[in-house]
Amino acid sequence: MIDDASELRSFLEKEIAKINQRLANDIVFVSFSLDKNKKAWQLMTKQDGITWYNISDLQGETSKIKGLYNIQSIPFSYLIDREGIIIETYDGYKPGMFDGIESRIKAK
Q: What is the pLDDT of residue 10?
A: 72
What DSSP string describes 33-66? ---S-HHHHHHHHHHTT--SEEE--S-GGG-HHH
In this structure, is residue 107 part of a structural domain? Answer: no
Output DSSP code: residue 29: -
Q: What is the pLDDT of residue 59?
A: 95
Output DSSP code: residue 28: -
In this structure, is residue 67 part of a structural domain? Answer: yes
Instruction: Give me the domain span that covers residue 18.
Output: 5-102
Q: What is the pLDDT of residue 56?
A: 92
In this structure, is residue 108 part of a structural domain? Answer: no
* Better-predicted residue by pLDDT, 36 or 107: 36
Asked whether residue 2 carries a pLDDT value surpassing 80, the answer given is: no
In this structure, is residue 84 part of a structural domain? Answer: yes
How many domains, in total, are found in the chain? 1
CA distance 101 to 79: 9
Q: What is the pLDDT of residues 46-104, one digit of tens each?
A: 888 888 888 899 999 999 998 888 888 877 888 888 888 888 888 877 777 788 888 88
Look up the CATH number of the domain holding residue 56: 3.40.30.10
